[in-house]
Structure formats: structure tokens, C-alpha cells
Structure 1
Amino acid sequence: MLKLERMSEADFNMVKGKMIADYAKDKIKVGHWSEREALELSKEALDKILNEGISTPNHYLLNAYEDEVKVGFVWMNKFNNEMFVNNTCIFEEFQENEYELKFIELIEEKADELDIKKINIHSYGYNEKNIAVYKKMGYDITDIYLNKVI
């Protein structure tokens, strides 16, 4: 059974590099940052937002476990009565197990525990697989940004 548990400082230090690298890759892919600047900008953004690491108020860094095996993590933050899902990750070796729907269910359970009235999830437009999962779970698309380099 999949479950979420609070991330330790050591766990955060292990996944922080992945979070920085993945964010940088996404920003490069959508054309917001150049390859030259992306890693530094990504690190600066993460350090600014999570300025107290796992103790940053209203931020929830949680590991996902199947039995006792760590299969991924989620980072969420609470603002007023809303939850913002900043990052979800299912580690590559577990992606065939179709944890995506279970992840969303666990996020919704955590939000309910915190008396959250609305969950917001961001997805880059190219990530059609994730968008399909969110739509399947009843999430509506509220914004679409379109860009063209000229």
C-alpha cells in the first residue's frame, strides 16, 4: 500500500539535486532559461522558496513508500485554504507500477487532513501524460500559456 511520510533532512539533501536538475531541464525545454544559466537559476529559486529546507513553514516534503520501499516524493505548500503541488516524482525504476493515480489520491488525503478546499497542480504543456492523469482524477485545466519565439 502506498503511503506518504515526512521527509528527513538527509532525504531532502538527496533529492534536492534531482529537484534542481529537473526544474532546470523543464525551464530549458519550454524556452524560459538557457542551458548556461538554468542550473544556477533553478538552485536559486529552490533555495529562496525552501529557505528553511524541510522546516520551511507551510511546505510539505513527503516521501512515498510502497511497503518499506521509497518509490518517490512530493513537495506541496499550503497557502490560505489552497494546496499547491510543486513537484511530484516517481523514481524511474517504479514508473511502470502506475503510481500516478495513487499519488494524487494521497495528495488529496493530505489536503483533507489540512482542511484544504482547493488543490492546484502545475504541469508543463509538453507533459501530456501527467495532464491526462490529472484530468482523469477530476482536475480541470484553468490556464494555458502559449509562447512563440520571434
Structure 2
Amino acid sequence: MSGLIRLTPMNAEQYERFEQRSLADFAEDKIRAGTWTEEEAPQRAKESFAHLLPQRLDTPHAHLYMIEYSGSAGQNPEEAGYIWFNITEKTQGKEAFLLDILVYDSFQGKGLGTLTMKALEQEARKLGAVRIGLHVFGHNERALHVYRKTGYRITDIQMSKEL
């Protein structure tokens, strides 16, 4: 993988695009996981966002970044995706929790997921976090691969079977 990525704080216009895309993707993931019906998913996704990001981009403890990618030194960076994590105080210290990450389709397969997870670690450390947690849907094999590759281990498994 050649090239560099950088996490830059989202601006208001980027947040609007992030929210629209993230809401739709979250609703779809919940439908695929069998957690929500197609009818209820859009509203429930909006309710989740209202709870997790009550002040949207200005929500305390919420960190929303655009992923910028430069294929080579001197190349102008391109917007390649986004990442959202929150930092909360836990018994062992501050913990970052990854809520959403997306590398746009046109940048897939270039190692940007791995580089972004490494950038997340650096950013979380700067913010005082001693641990990073995340949730991944079982059907998201690509994300599972990236998380395992970057050193994450399974801490809890929830399973179901259709009857």
C-alpha cells in the first residue's frame, strides 16, 4: 500500500452527507441482521442518532472525521470515507468506541481500512484513550477481516438461528 491517509475533523456540509449515508447503512445493517423490520428501520436509525449525537457535530465526546487519502507525496488529498467514534470514561480509563467507519467503494481494496484503524489508534491515544471497542455485524466479513488484521479480538458473541 502506497499513499497516506489523514483524519480531518468533519465540517457541517460533510456531516450532512455522513449522516444521510450512515443512517441508511445502519438501517440496512439492522434489517440484514434481522433486528429491525424494513418499515421501522429508518425511524429507529434516526432515534439512535438522536440519542448518540444529540448535538450532531457538536456532541461532546463524539469525534467525527473524514478520511483523506493521498496516493503519493505531493498529491492533493481526496475524501476517501469517514470515521466516527466516541470517548467515554470507563473503570479502566478512557475508552474510544468506534461507531461507524466507511471507506468509499472507489477506495476499497487499497488497504485504507487498515490504515484508518491505525490512524484511529493514534487519535484515540492523543485523546487519552487506553482502549478501543467496537461492534461489528456478523454479515460484515470485510470489516471482520480488517479488525482481526489490526489486532482486535472478539470479546462477546451474540448468535441467532431462523426457525
For the criterion TM > 0.5, the same-fold answer is yes
Question: Gapped runs of 5+ residues in structure 1?
Answer: none
Match of 1:17 in 2: 20
CA contact (8 A) 1:9 1:53 kept: no
Match of 1:44 in 2: 47
Question: Gapped runs of 5+ residues in structure 2?
Answer: 71-76
Q: 1:9: Cα distance to partner?
A: 1.2
Structure 1 outlier segments of 4+, above 2 Å? none
Match of 2:83 in 1: 74
Match of 1:65 in 2: 68
Larger CA deviation: 101-110 vs 140-149? 140-149
Matches within 5 A, 1:1-150: 1-67=4-70, 68-80=77-89, 81-150=94-163
Q: Distance in 2 between matches of 1:86 and 1:119?
A: 11
What letter corresponds to residue 45 of structure 1 in structure 2?
S
Q: 1:10: Cα distance to partner?
A: 1.2
> Aligned Cα RMSD in Å?
1.0
- Write the deviation string for residues 115-150 of structure 1: whole angstroms up to 9, x where unpaired: 111100211111122112111111110011011244
**TM-score normalised by the chain length of structure 1:** 0.96
CA contact (8 A) 1:6 1:62 kept: yes
Q: Distance in 2 between matches of 1:129 and 1:10?
A: 28
Identity %: 29
